[in-house]
């Protein structure tokens, strides 16, 4: 783990890292990891009238964590954060408008946070002449592949060599930011890495992403069953008709709305966020910056996720509990993602530690416990 650069953090004193997006799913897991590794962590948090620190609540008293106000879309606030923390040796840029469906409705705001934000950090690093002292991580995404894939004879996959064919304003912004990282690496010699992360989830996942939307619903539905002392077999069969959008049980007044989803035929390579932040850190411990695909190598459809999740509450006919609602379909879809993590395995010695079944079970159990 020794660094041969001129970085001031390579002195025996604590390493300092800056994280944008620390209040998000990944930022919170990364903060856990870096604090565990004895880093000083500076988390950039944008001003909000409501509390956004729920995911890092357990860290708020930690003397090695400092939260500073800053908006990634505002160059001066990012410049000031860097200026005041010039002894930081690692910068993790995780802030973004990360919801793909929302990016179709708000392409400009998505562009500002997801692409311009990355440029703001890169530019501030160079303006402060920190390019030889700080290492930079960019949260790139498998969404950049969009409809593109390669084939290895029997199956489709994406890796570092697969071309990008983005299918949303979000993915276009990520592609541009990804190119900016390459440019600053080549033009300024910045130690900059982009992790092309495939979908990663967990109990801290935002509730509007499909996995968490499903497990949250199951948590609440399970509570409804328990509250009314009913078993899945007591559900009224007629309400399981696909035109009925509520769930009833005989002798029970209360009803429960079915789970409304969009396209359940898409495939994703889903991993656990806690595993993936380790790969981010490992990228910045290498001798040079590079791009890495981070994934499990397995692809599952949303149908399969539903099947596995409903199994946790002993329901096998999950399709009777959902409604496919046009409002959750996207103008363009990414149908199939399955990454190949060969480079991450050989260079970073990284591999995923959580199976698909473990991930689904972890999320459902969390949401049952907390509903």
Residue ranges that bind ligand F7E, judged by CB under 6 A: 98, 100-101, 141-143, 198-199, 208-210, 213, 261-264, 266, 268, 302, 328, 330, 333
Q: Of 26, 32, 269, 308, which one interacts with ligand NAP (CB under 6 A)?
A: 26
- In the complex, least distance from residue 213 CB atom to ligand F7E, rounded to whole angstroms: 5
Intra-chain end-to-end CA distance of the chain, in Å: 42
Q: Which is nearer to ligand F7E, 129 or 265 (CB)?
A: 265
Q: Which is nearer to ligand NAP, 206 or 262 (CB)?
A: 206
Q: Catalytic site residue 276?
A: no
**Residue 262 binds: one of ligand NAP, ligand F7E, none (C-beta under 5 to 8 A by kind):** ligand F7E
Residue 358 has which token pair?
A: 């473990």
CA distance 125 to 128: 5
**Residue 208 binds: one of ligand NAP, ligand F7E, none (C-beta under 5 to 8 A by kind):** ligand F7E
Catalytic, out of 141, 142, 168, 299: 141
Q: Catalytic site residue 137?
A: no
354 binds ligand NAP (CB under 6 A): no
- Tell me the window of 129-137, 185-193, 196-204, 248-256 that interacts with ligand NAP (CB under 6 A): 196-204
14 binds ligand NAP (CB under 6 A): no
Q: Which is nearer to ligand NAP, 141 or 354 (CB)?
A: 141
Q: Of 82, 89, 94, 279, which one interacts with ligand NAP (CB under 6 A)?
A: 94
Dihedral, CA atoms, 30, 97, 80, 273, nearest 10 degrees?
Answer: 0
Residue 266 has which token pair?
A: 């898409």
Q: Of 116, 178, 200, 366, which one interacts with ligand NAP (CB under 6 A)?
A: 200
- In the complex, least distance from residue 297 CB atom to ligand F7E, rounded to whole angstroms: 15
CA angle, corner 340, sides to 354 and 349, nearest 5?
A: 65
- In the complex, least distance from residue 103 CB atom to ligand F7E, rounded to whole angstroms: 9
Catalytic, out of 92, 98, 140, 143: 143
- In the complex, least distance from residue 248 CB atom to ligand F7E, rounded to whole angstroms: 23
Q: Of 48, 76, 324, 355, which one interacts with ligand NAP (CB under 6 A)?
A: 48
Q: Catalytic site residue 143?
A: yes
Q: Which is nearer to ligand NAP, 135 or 200 (CB)?
A: 200
Residues that bind ligand NAP (CB under 6 A): 20-21, 23-27, 46, 48, 52, 71-73, 94-98, 113, 139, 141, 197, 199-200, 206
Catalytic residue ranges: 141, 143, 170
């Amino acid at each position: 783990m020794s660094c041969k650069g001129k970085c001031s953090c390579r002195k025996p004193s604590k390493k300092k890292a800056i994280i944008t997006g620390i209040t998000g799913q990944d930022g919170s897991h990364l903060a856990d990891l870096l604090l565990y590794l004895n880093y000083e962590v500076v988390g950039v948090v944008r001003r909000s009238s409501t509390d956004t620190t729920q995911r890092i609540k357990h860290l708020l008293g930690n003397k090695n964590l400092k939260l500073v106000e800053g908006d990634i879309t505002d160059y001066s606030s990012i410049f000031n954060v860097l200026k005041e923390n010039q002894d930081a040796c690692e910068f993790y840029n995780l802030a973004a408008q990360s919801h793909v469906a929302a990016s179709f409705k708000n392409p400009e705001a998505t562009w500002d946070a997801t692409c311009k934000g990355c440029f703001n950090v890169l530019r501030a690093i160079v303006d402060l002449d920190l390019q030889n002292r700080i290492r930079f991580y960019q949260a790139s995404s498998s969404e950049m592949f969009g409809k593109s894939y390669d084939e290895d004879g029997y199956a489709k996959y994406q890796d570092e060599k697969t071309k990008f064919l983005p299918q949303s304003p979000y993915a276009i912004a990520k592609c541009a930011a990804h190119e900016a990282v390459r440019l600053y690496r080549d033009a300024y010699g910045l130690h900059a890495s982009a992790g092309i992360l495939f979908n990663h989830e967990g109990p801290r996942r935002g509730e509007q992403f499909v996995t968490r939307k499903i497990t949250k619903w199951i948590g609440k539905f399970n509570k409804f069953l328990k509250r009314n002392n009913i078993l899945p077999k007591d559900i009224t069969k007629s309400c399981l008709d696909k035109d009925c959008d509520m769930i009833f049980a005989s002798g029970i007044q209360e009803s429960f709305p079915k789970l409304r989803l969009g396209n359940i035929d898409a495939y994703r390579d889903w991993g656990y966020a806690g595993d993936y932040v380790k790969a981010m850190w490992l990228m910045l411990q290498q001798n040079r910056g590079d791009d890495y695909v981070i994934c499990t190598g397995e692809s599952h459809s949303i149908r399969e996720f539903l099947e596995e999740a409903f199994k946790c509450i002993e329901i096998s006919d999950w399709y009777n509990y959902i409604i496919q609602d046009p409002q959750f379909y996207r103008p363009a879809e990414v149908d199939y993602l399955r990454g190949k993590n060969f480079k991450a395995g050989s260079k970073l010695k990284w591999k995923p530690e959580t199976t698909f079944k473990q991930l689904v079970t972890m999320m459902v159990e969390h949401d049952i416990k907390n509903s």
